[in-house]
Chain A
Amino acid sequence: MNLFYLVAFLSIFFSLLVIFSKNPVYSVLYLIVTFFTFTIHYVLLNAQFLAIVNFIVYMGAILVLFLYVLMLLNLNKDSEPMKSNLLKVAGIIAGLCLLLTLAGSLKLVHVSDPVVLKNPDIGLVKNLGKVLFKEFLLPFEVSSILLLAAMVGAVLLAKKDPNKA
């Protein structure tokens, strides 16, 4: 029980550091730590497949892509554009209003039952694979088309325009 609150505190702390650190490279590194705490959350929920996928896809692939582009574009603290203080305060107030609304509506619904593992092997690879390839076969295939389209689009967009160059 205490482990959950410790990890939750770390998640919130590092995600605050992500958005408030001035240097974009530090932001990416803090985001990696944040995603690692999310992986711990998945392990605590016994969702082992999601923990591994989160570890490999998010921390391994997506954040390396972020870091790579950041270093390719040579962004650092000096070139970092900052908003004016007024806009920052307005943004923080707007975000806190959103949080207040969500927390307030949460107080009304009174679902306070503890999260109990009814079925301990629900998050294991064997069980999830069966669900994925029986009930969600069509969405699975469609998502492969999505990934192919994304790959083609990314190559097409990032390629140099032959008319200009």
Chain B
Amino acid sequence: METITQSIQAVPLNHYILLSSIIFAIGTIGVLIRRNAIIILMSVELMLNAVNLLLAAFSVYRGDASGQVFVFFIMALAAAEVAIGLAILTMIYRNTNSTDINILNRLKW
């Protein structure tokens, strides 16, 4: 484990922020360009994970364990969000026979 953690020592914090920004932007692009609601949920997961990684990096950088506890809470929240989101999706699919978000532009059917 020593050799693995040695390899992180020289990475600047800026590169962690940049990596998280890139992945967050990719998640945003995914939300914007896809019409399948499941892919949109997956893009939201990607954005949540980018933030998780940044919180963990900051926590290590500051030597404070609170950041990692927050990541744990975000994971619990993401699990709840996915369960509810997929339940809503199954309900929508049962009613409209597709997961296309363009059908849902009138909030009633």
Contact = CB atoms under 8 A, between A and B. Distances in A.
Contact of B80 (A1, A115, A139, A150): A150
A89 B53 CA distance: 28
Contacts of A153: 83-84, 87
Interface residues of A, number: 90
Contacts of B49: 34-35, 38, 58
A18 B94 CA distance: 26
A45 B99 contact: no
A102 B42 CA distance: 22
Given A47-B68, A75-B99, A80-B36, A12 B84 contact: no
A81 B21 contact: no
Interface of B: 1, 4-5, 7-19, 21-30, 32-36, 38-39, 41-43, 45-46, 49, 52-53, 56-57, 59-66, 68-69, 71-73, 75-84, 86-91, 93-94, 98-100, 102
